[in-house]
């Protein structure tokens, strides 16, 4: 199982990294219906913080991330969509499994494929967590630099705007229509 393939099936919803039932079913090489049946038979292993059903709004958000387009009643998926997404019952909202929920699946799905897939999924979650932690410091430093230099550039832009306005004011003053008497020698 390729790490990148699994990472593409991990989404962030409600501030948590999750995987969807139909993506897990595809990885485990079972039908989504069968996966959900096993979960329901062992529902005490899946408290709300391990598994929850997406809201319609959350489901729409994930589908839009995958560039899903609607064609009448038929769903047309982008090339990012999986075969299991195409076959899924579009009237039922998918279930989301957190990292702990995916780990709990290993206790109820006992096939050799399920064991190997679970190991790969756990590695993907760990890799993503380590990546986020290692890049947190870099992100913070970039934010500090942005704040520092935004202020400096703001000062420069303010000075340039002042000079432009000053030049425009001076130019307007010189080119204004003069009023008053003119002497015959051309002086005012």
Asked whether the beta carbons of 39 and 51 are under 8 A apart, the reply is yes
What is the rounded distance in angstroms from the CA atom of residue 29 to the CA atom of residue 108? 15
- Provide the pLDDT for residue 153: 67
Say how far apart CA 171 and CA 28 lie, in whole Å. 75
Q: What is the pLDDT of residue 74?
A: 37
- Check residue 40 and give its pLDDT: 93
**Beta-carbon neighbour count of residue 61 at 10 Å?**
13
Q: How far apart are the first and last CA of the chain?
A: 90
- Residue with the two structure tokens 């995958």: 66
Buried b (16+ CB within 10 A) or exposed e, 7-45: eebbbebeeebbbbbbbbbbbbebebeebbeebeeeeee
Q: pLDDT digit of tens for each residue in the chain (188 aa)?
A: 577 788 888 899 998 899 999 999 998 898 999 999 999 999 999 999 999 999 999 999 888 876 543 433 333 333 344 444 444 556 789 999 998 998 888 788 878 888 888 888 888 888 887 777 777 777 777 777 777 776 666 777 777 778 778 777 877 778 877 777 767 776 65
pTM of structure: 0.58
Longest dimension (CA), the chain: 109
């Amino acid at each position: 199982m390729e790490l990148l393939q699994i990472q593409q099936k991990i989404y962030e919803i409600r501030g948590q990294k999750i995987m969807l039932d139909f993506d897990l079913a595809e990885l485990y090489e079972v039908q989504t219906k069968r996966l959900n049946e096993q979960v329901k038979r062992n529902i005490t292993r899946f408290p709300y913080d391990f598994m929850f059903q997406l809201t319609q709004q959350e489901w729409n958000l994930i589908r839009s991330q995958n560039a899903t387009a609607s064609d009448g009643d038929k769903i047309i998926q982008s090339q990012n969509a999986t075969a299991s997404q195409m076959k899924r019952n579009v009237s039922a909202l998918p279930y989301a499994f957190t990292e702990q929920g995916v780990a709990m699946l290993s206790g109820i799905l006992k096939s050799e494929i399920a064991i190997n897939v679970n190991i790969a999924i756990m590695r993907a979650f760990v890799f993503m967590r380590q990546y986020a932690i290692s890049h947190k410091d870099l992100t913070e430093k970039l934010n500090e630099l942005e704040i520092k230099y935004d202020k400096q550039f703001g000062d420069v832009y303010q000075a340039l705007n002042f000079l432009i306005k000053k030049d425009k004011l001076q130019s307007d003053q010189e080119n204004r229509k003069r009023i008053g008497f003119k002497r015959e020698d051309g002086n005012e």
